[in-house]
Amino acid sequence: MADSQFDLLRLTATEAARLLDEGRTTSVELVKAYLAQINAHNHSGLKLNALISVAPADTLLATARKLDQERSSGSRRSSLHGIPFVCKDVFVTHPSLGLPTTAGAPCFQSAVAKRTSPVIEHLLDMGLILIGKANLTEFCGLKTPDHTTGWSPTGGQTQSPYVFGGLEEGEKVIGHSSPGGSSSGSASAVAAGFVPLSIGTEVCNSIVTPAGRAGLYALKCSNDAVNIDGCFGFSKHLDCIGGMAKSVEDLAVLTAALMQRDSPFDLGSRRCDGFHVAFTELEGWIWPGNACSWPGETLSVIENGYTEAASKLKAMGPQVTKNVDLPAPWAEFEMEGENIFTEISLFDFVNDRLPAFISEFDTCEVRSLAEIVAYNEQNRDVCMPQGHEGQSDLTNLVETSRDGAKQKALLVEMRRRGTLALDKVLEDHDVIASIADGPLPMYAAAAGYPIACVPLGVVKYSDENERPYGLSLTAGMGQEGKLLRFMAAFESAFPSRPLPQPLLQWRDTYD
């Protein structure tokens, strides 16, 4: 049973930091409370499987005591001194932290990293406490197209804390009971009160979709804005790092830390007036029926919420353009019958990112893609259990070579198409908004621009279940500050983020 000293479903990092500064709690007490919540619902209770691994309690408590002692002696490393967080299990961590790095794959479970990835090391130096590694879609989704999002052999199926009964049998790719994209564990962990902050990675939708499904504020930074060394991913041209939190203030502090900024972001007046916002259409900009069913009134509920959000913002002062002239991107990134994102990712993965990731380990059971494929075949019962068979993406990569010159040409064309489409709108607007259950992140990924998510409402999709939905937001390269200012204004104007009813009901019943 979780510790009831804190309301962990609501507690933000900023509020926890205030309690620490005022001497009303300690980092030791915070760590104990979060560990109790994790023990109650990660593999027990609601069985959310949000975390693949949790650091040893004695290690965490020793770190927390050290940070408490520093604070009591007048030393505070940052505003996040003594605050727990989790990161997606794609960042290498030194064995001294007690956390393996698997990317969701059993072949890496026994691997021993040489170091902690620079971005995580920086957060630790700032006084944050890494409680655990978040579950994900194995290899960030690069294994077989048949796997459900949020499933990995090392972590099981990540569940949404908002859904009674978890992922429905036979659920569609991004159906309502799904927790979302590959950073699903990072989102579920924050929404479930396991930690106040988390780190994820995204190419297209891997942060935005799970954050939207978890009622969180999230921001994936611009390409090259955050150091991705020591991180599993597809392509340095596409993979970006971002944070998730329960408030914009938390997210702003975390984003500044990730970007290693010398000064915090200024969130401004938190007023909506002064912004020029472009809303895409909904038709063509929401998951199609083959990816997510829309039973009953679900689609109209989201459409109404989306339309009302644009109208409400317009009434509060911003200049709002509805149904802006921006073509849906589904077909915009096809070239000679091939998906540009896929071709760039696969070439870079085989030739750059996977070798770099494997080189981060002193010892490792696999040293190449071919050895990973062989390992999975030799350990099918663990790596490809019933219901999760297959590794066609990986075997195809072993068998098919790709042309580097073609990859470079595709990269140039991808950037051209992405920036051309977005810049045309951003000439007259500060922010482009769309429904988070849709493809705006494709344009942001193509251009290398930041993409964010804010909670908007909940949609009831069955007699028992409802889940959050939100808005995705993008702005120009390096415009994280502008996005955060708009998000802060939005947060002030719109209702509070929804809380997960299964956890509230569990707490009312058992606490």
Q: Which of 117, 177, 182, 188 is catalytic?
A: 182
Contacts of 498 (CB under 8 A, 6+ apart): 162, 215, 455, 457, 458, 468
State the first-to-last Cα distance of the chain, in angstroms, to the nearest integer. Answer: 7
Contacts of 377 (CB under 8 A, 6+ apart): none
Q: Which of 198, 206, 222, 345 is catalytic?
A: 206
Encoded tokens for 289: 């029926």
CA distances from 286 to 206, 263, 292, 426, 497 (A): 16, 37, 9, 21, 21
| Closest among 508, 456, 447, 506 to 478, alpha carbons compared | 447
Alpha-carbon distance 242 to 228, whole Å? 11
As beta bridge partners, residue 319 has: 276
Contacts of 457 (CB under 8 A, 6+ apart): 301, 302, 305, 468, 469, 495, 498
Q: Give CA angle at 384 (135, 95), nearest 5°.
A: 45
Sign of the torsion angle spanned by Cα atoms 431, 434, 440, 441: positive
Known catalytic residue: 462? Answer: no
C-beta separation of 336 from 294 below 8 A: no
Contacts of 128 (CB under 8 A, 6+ apart): 80, 81, 82, 83, 84, 85, 197, 257
Pairing outcome for strands 466-474 and 156-157: unpaired
Known catalytic residue: 182? Answer: yes
Alpha-carbon distance 331 to 52, whole Å? 36
Q: Which of 88, 133, 246, 482 is catalytic?
A: 88
Known catalytic residue: 88? Answer: yes
**Number of C-beta neighbours around residue 361 at 10 A:** 18
Encoded tokens for 356: 């770099």
| Helix or strand (DSSP H, E) at 42 | none
| Helix or strand (DSSP H, E) at 72 | helix 57-72
Alpha-carbon distance 301 to 306, whole Å? 9
What are the φ and ψ backbone dihedral angles of 472, each rounded to 5 degrees? -100, 145
Encoded tokens for 383: 């790596």
Please identify every residue annotated as catalytic. Answer: 88, 182, 206
